[in-house]
């Protein structure tokens, strides 16, 4: 499989936009005064499906906490995303909003996502106002479990982190050991399981 992302050019999207495994997501969001859905309805890249930031935001402190796996998976299925989809995300804010969905797709283990370089402003082609017709992805082809997700069966007081591709075995860390979740790197040393 060829490398895909983290950025694709508008020219690349023009050329590949009709490929059956490619999904284009409009992820516009505004802090005040406007709604991303309204902007999408006023005009978007042909074939794009709107995903609302609030729909992929969890509950808790902070402005946009991480969603649960189930919440994220259900929203991506509504947008027509499956484990085999290549996803291009865009916004009209220089990619700063689209990068959030790009990050979430990677966080939950998708691996085939890109941000449209220069966003909607760089598209340079007519927009459409028809609402994208997303075909729900089959549940059996949903977004895979992230490579660094904690395994629930770990011994009490420790967490086992599944290896990233190319690693030989999971690592078990004692209670209180910090793991940088975004990178899978250990803040203190942990030993590889001997099993």
CATH code reported for the domain at 7-141: 3.40.250.10
pLDDT of residue 88: 98
pLDDT of residue 2: 59
pLDDT of residue 36: 96
pLDDT of residue 150: 36
pLDDT of residue 183: 39
Q: pTM of the prediction? A: 0.69
Instruction: Give me the average pLDDT of each 10-residue run along the chain (195 residues).
Output: 83 94 96 94 96 88 84 94 95 96 94 95 94 48 44 35 40 40 38 38
pLDDT of residue 58: 78
- Find out whether 110 and 74 touch, Cβ atoms under 8 Å: no
Residue extents of the structural domains in the chain: 7-141, 150-192
């Amino acid at each position: 499989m060829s490398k895909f992302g983290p950025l694709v050019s508008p020219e690349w999207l023009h050329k590949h936009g009709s490929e059956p495994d490619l999904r284009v997501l409009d992820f516009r969001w505004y802090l005040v005064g406007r709604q991303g859905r309204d902007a999408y309805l006023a005009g978007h890249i042909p074939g794009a499906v709107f995903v609302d930031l609030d729909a992929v935001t969890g509950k808790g402190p902070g402005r946009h906490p991480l969603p649960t796996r189930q919440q994220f998976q259900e929203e991506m299925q509504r947008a027509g995303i499956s484990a085999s989809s290549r996803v291009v995300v865009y916004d009209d804010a220089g990619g700063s909003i689209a990068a959030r969905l790009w990050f979430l797709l990677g966080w939950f283990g998708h691996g085939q996502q890109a941000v449209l370089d220069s966003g909607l402003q760089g598209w340079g082609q007519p927009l459409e106002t028809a609402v994208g017709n997303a075909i729900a992805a089959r549940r059996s082809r949903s977004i895979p479990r992230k490579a660094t997700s904690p395994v629930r069966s770990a011994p009490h007081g420790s967490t086992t982190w599944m290896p990233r591709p190319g690693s030989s075995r999971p690592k078990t860390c004692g209670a209180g050991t910090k793991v940088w979740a975004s990178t899978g790197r250990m803040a203190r040393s942990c030993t590889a399981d001997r099993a």
